[in-house]
């Protein structure tokens, strides 16, 4: 079964902010490499998204939120939900960011 993957506005903003930060503070090459790797990870969710682990926030929020890590160093994680044949990307967060809170 193939799933449709949608990036929610919050996640899109987080991706854009991270990309710009990398361009400004690291290099455009590093930012581009990260972006392409992120796109590959997100695309991989079209097949078997339930293979990914449940995020730590899921029990606190009361919703089955899954996560997949980006890169060998696992500095970013993609948080998403699976509903029927749709994968909705909710957030893309750096590993140093706190977990999602009750406000979600």
- pLDDT tens-digit series, residues 73-91: 778 999 999 999 999 999 9
- pLDDT tens-digit series, residues 13-46: 999 999 999 999 999 999 999 999 999 999 999 9
- CATH superfamily of the domain spanning 4-94: RelE-like (3.30.2310.20)
More confident position, 58 or 66: 66
Cα distance between residue 26 and residue 19, in whole Å? 10
Containing 22, the helix (H) or strand (E) segment is helix 9-25
The residue among 86, 101, 19 whose CA lies nearest residue 55 is 101
* Residue 75 β-bridge partners: none
Order the strands of the 66-70 sheet from edge to edge: 4-7, 86-94, 76-83, 66-70, 53-54
Cα distance between residue 70 and residue 50, in whole Å? 16
Containing 100, the helix (H) or strand (E) segment is none
């Amino acid at each position: 079964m193939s799933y449709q993957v949608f990036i929610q506005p919050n996640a899109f903003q987080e991706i854009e902010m991270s990309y710009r930060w990398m361009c400004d503070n690291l290099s455009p090459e590093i930012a581009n490499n990260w972006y392409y790797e992120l796109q590959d990870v997100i695309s991989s969710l079209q097949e078997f998204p339930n293979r990914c682990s449940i995020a730590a926030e899921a029990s606190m929020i009361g919703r089955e939120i899954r996560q997949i890590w980006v890169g060998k160093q696992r500095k970013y994680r993609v948080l998403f939900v699976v509903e029927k044949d749709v994968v909705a990307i909710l957030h893309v967060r750096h590993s140093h960011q706190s977990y999602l809170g009750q406000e979600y």
